[in-house]
Amino acid sequence: MKPHTEPGMTRSQSAMHAEDAPQIRAVLERVYEKTGMDFREYAFASIRRRVHACMVDAGLSTASELLQLIDADTEALERLLKALTLPVTAMFRDPPFYRDFRTLIVPLLRTHPYLRLWVAGCSTGQEVYSLAIVLHEEGLYERSRIYATDVQARSLERAREAIFAVGLMQDYTRNYQAAGGTSAFSDYYTADSHAAILRPFLKQNIVFGMHNLVTDGSFNEFQVIFCRNVMIYFNANLQQRVHTLFYESLAMFGYLGLGRGESIRFSPFEGRYESASARQRIYRKVA
């Protein structure tokens, strides 16, 4: 291939190249030293984009300048941390996933007298409440306990509050209906002109807690684990660690729900699961 440093190439262009990988790794190393938040085994291409976005916001053109800035300025470090952990989630995201969960998995969950479910990397709670609503409508919520964990205290706080911008409700309602909701979505919240608050009964069987998928171990045995679009931000090595954790935390014949773009196929646990919904990436532990 041609060399990266061609005549006429500007400095800001070169900042976006593979060659700034060592500088970005240095930034992630420094973030770890200063905050204990470990992004070193995150998927590099995605984390690089987020670091670059932070550089652009700060008016910087190189990752080395960003390193100097976070050394000198704790607020800049805080902003970087926020950019690196930007929550992205929605209620009933990928409605067909919830539809399949309801029609294919819920009937089998009915045989259990008591259900433990884990939403790992729950962010600001939208998936947790979506699951609670499905269980409620299927008459299973009373005997369920949902463990909702995240590494970010701020996200967990927002998840606990269950207050969402009212502008999101239109989108969530459409998702809810497409997901096979049997009620009116507006039954589940009260809204004023800018905020919607979910009804408190949805929270009563949810346990929120800090849990770091990078460093923490298994803490219970579950019939269902959801971890959707969280591991796409991890590299293959860290994904393998988390798959081990989930495998160890699932009861035999328990279900693992991943995001639509994820697969167990590229993990060492492929042979331990069978597909319960191939297209919606719901897997059943069978060995």
Partner 1 sequence: MIVVGGSLGGALALQRLLEPLPATFPQPIAVVLHRHRDSDAGLAELIQRNVALKVQDAVDKQAIEPGTVTLAPADYHLLIDGDCFALSVDDPVRFARPAIDVLFESAASSVRLMTAVVLTGGGSDGAIGATKIESAGGQVFVQEPGEAMNPEMPLSAIAATEAAEVLSIDAIAARLLTLM
Please give the residue ranges that form the binding site for partner 1 (CB under 8 A): 1-4, 6, 9-10, 13-14, 16-18, 21, 43-46, 48-50, 86, 88, 94-95, 178, 229, 231-233, 235-236, 239, 259-263, 265-266, 279
Considering the complex, state which of residue 168 and residue 252 has its C-beta at the smaller distance from partner 1: 168
Considering the complex, state which of residue 87 and residue 163 has its C-beta at the smaller distance from partner 1: 87
Considering the complex, state which of residue 32 and residue 266 has its C-beta at the smaller distance from partner 1: 266
Smallest gap from residue 88 Cβ to partner 1 (A):
5
DSSP secondary structure, the chain, as one string:
---S--TT--HHHHHTSGGGHHHHHHHHHHHHHHH----TTB-HHHHHHHHHHHHHHTT-SSHHHHHHHHHH-HHHHHHHHHHHT-----TTSSHHHHHHIIIIIHHHHTT-SSEEEEEET-TTSHHHHHHHHHHHHTT-GGGEEEEEEES-HHHHHHHHHTEEEGGGHHHHHHHHHHTT-SS-GGGGEEE-SSEEEE-GGGGTTEEEEE--TTT----S-EEEEE--SSGGGB-HHHHHHHHHHHHHHEEEEEEEE--TT--GGGSTTGGGEEEEETTTTEEEE--
Smallest gap from residue 79 Cβ to partner 1 (A):
16
Smallest gap from residue 125 Cβ to partner 1 (A):
16
Smallest gap from residue 106 Cβ to partner 1 (A):
22
Considering the complex, state which of residue 2 and residue 194 has its C-beta at the smaller distance from partner 1: 2
Considering the complex, state which of residue 42 and residue 141 has its C-beta at the smaller distance from partner 1: 42
Smallest gap from residue 277 Cβ to partner 1 (A):
13
Smallest gap from residue 12 Cβ to partner 1 (A):
10
Considering the complex, state which of residue 96 and residue 112 has its C-beta at the smaller distance from partner 1: 96
